[in-house]
């Protein structure tokens, strides 16, 4: 792509894509953390 070596393309485009996916998964998994913590404190 754009005449760059495959390793460079992987670093330039792969890492940001990985970080975006990681952030989305983190936000999805932690979306109810406040409700879970409140339930644990009440019981």
**pLDDT (tens digit, 9 = 90+) per residue, 3-43?**
889 899 889 999 999 999 999 999 999 888 777 666 666 55
Residues 6+ apart with CB under 8 A from 9: 1, 2
Residues 6+ apart with CB under 8 A from 2: 9
SS3 31: coil
Contact 12, 4 (CB under 8 A): yes
pLDDT of res. 32: 80
pLDDT of res. 21: 97
User: What is the C-alpha to C-alpha distance for residues 1 and 5, in angstroms, rounded to an integer?
Assistant: 8
């Amino acid at each position: 792509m754009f005449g760059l070596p495959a390793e460079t393309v992987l670093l330039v485009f792969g890492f940001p894509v990985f970080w975006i996916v990681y952030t989305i998964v983190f936000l999805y998994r932690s979306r109810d953390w406040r409700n879970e913590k409140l339930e644990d404190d009440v019981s």
